[in-house]
Structure 1
Amino acid sequence: MTGGSRGLGFAVARRLAQDGVRVALVARSERGVHDAVTTLRRAGCTAYGRAADVTRADTLRTALDELRCELGTVDLLVNNAGVEGPFGPLWECDPDAWWAAMDTNVRGVLLATHALLPGMLARRTGRIVNLASHAGVHRWPHVSAYSVSKAAVIKLTENLGQELRGTGVHTASLHPGIVLTGFTDAVLAGEADPASWRGRAHVWLRGQIEAGRGVPPEDAADAVAVLARRLTETSSGAYFTTETVTRLANDGAP
C-alpha cells in the first residue's frame, strides 16, 4: 500500500488487515509510517512499513524488497500515493509544480507496479488496484495537473489489464468518491484563501460535502477490499466507482 500512513491509505490498510491480510505500508514520512504500523499492531493486525518516495525508483525498490523479506510474497498492490498539484489556469501554473503531480500520481504507480508485478506473474496470481478520480474522466478546469494525472492512471490501468490477459493477474482503477479524510480535512477547515484558485476549488468541494456527497473512508476502503477479492479476467482493467463496486459485490458483474 503506497501512501498508506494516513487518510484513505491508512483506512484501506486497516480494512484489509481486519480481514486478516498481512499489510505493508509505504509513505514518505518515517514517523507517519511508524505510527501507522504501531496503531495496526496494537489492534492485533500484522503490519510492516518503510519510508520511501514513490517517485524515486532506487529507494522505492529497496523499501519494497525489504518489505518482501519480512512479509513474503505480495499478492495485492494498492497504489494510493498522490498529490493535488497546482491550482489555476494552465498558463499560470508553474510547469515544474505541474509536472511534479504527474511524477507522484503516475510515475509512482508505474514504479511500484514495475517492481512488484514480475513476482505476481511468476506465481500467476495477483491484484493491482490504482486509486483514481472522477477528475480523470471528466474535465476539472483549473486543476489540470491532478485531472490529467488521474486520466493517465485510468488509461494505464486499462492498457495493463489487456496486457495481463491470461496471466492470472488482474487490475482496476477506482474512483473512491469525495472521501471524508485527508485532503477534505483541509477543505472543511477552509484553510485556502477563498479568492485563490485553490480556495475556489475548496468552496466547490465543501458544497459537495454539505450536499451529502461525501464518502466515509470506511466505504471507500470496503470498495478496495471487494476489488481485491472479486476482480476477474473480464473486469480486469476496468474503471470503477464505489457504486459500481457495490454492484460487483452483489452480482459479480463489472
Structure 2
Amino acid sequence: MNEPLPPRLLVVDDDSDLRELIAGFLRDHHIDVETAADAESMDAALARQRYDCVILDLMMPGEDGLSVLRRMRGRDRTPVIMLSAMGEDVDRIVGLEVGADDYLSKPCNPRELLARVRALLRRTTRGDEVTSLQGGSGNTPRRRFGDWSLDLVERTLFRQGYPAAPLTDAEFRVMTAFLDRPQRVLSRDTLIELAKGSDADVFDRAIDVTISRLRKKLGPGDPIRTIRNEGYMLSLKPEEG
C-alpha cells in the first residue's frame, strides 16, 4: 500500500532565520515545506503548485500580509495561518475579517504552530472529502436543524446542494452554543463565555466577525438572527435524536 503524501505548506516571512526555523521544525514532523521571503516570491510559488496551508507573516516589506490575503481570498480558499509580531487584538480581528483561518502572535511556540497546522489540515481535508449532506462515513454524530447538518466530529456544516463547510474552533463553539440554546437571544458576553476554549481567544468584536463568517458558511437564508441591542438568536430548533 502506498504511503499517503505528506501535507505541503508554504511559509512566507521576510525574517530568514525565523522562516527557516519554522520550516525546519515542520519538516522534522513529516511536513513538506517550501518558503518565500515576500509577496512576489509567494505569488510565484502559488502559481507553480497547490499548497495545503500557507503560514503568512503580517508585517513584510513591500506588500504586507493583509493585502496578500485579500488578493488570495479573491481567487482561492487555501487555508491561511497568519503570524504577527504586533500581537494586538485589532490585528487578530482584522486578519480574521479578511479571511485568515487562524492567527498566532510572534514569537510563537513551534509546537503550538504545529498543533494549529494539524488541526486546520484535519478540518479542511475532511471538508474536501465530503461535498454533500449525504457524504462522509455516515457514522459520526450530527445535529440537524432545518436544511443544515453539523457533524460534531468533523466540525463541518453540510447542506443539500452546497459544498461542505469546515468550521474553525471558534465557529464550531458558537454554532454549538446556538444549537444548545435555540430560539433564545444570546448576548455577546454570553457567546464569548460559551465560545472560550484553550486554543480560541474570542473578543467582543471578534464574536461579530465569527458570526459573520458562520453565516457565510451557512449560506442563503441562514437561521442566525441579529436582535438589535441584545445579541443573536438561532431561529430554528434542532431535530431530536
Structure 2 length normalisation: TM-score?
0.38
Higher relative contact order (CA 8 A, sep 6+): 1
**Higher fraction of helix:** 1
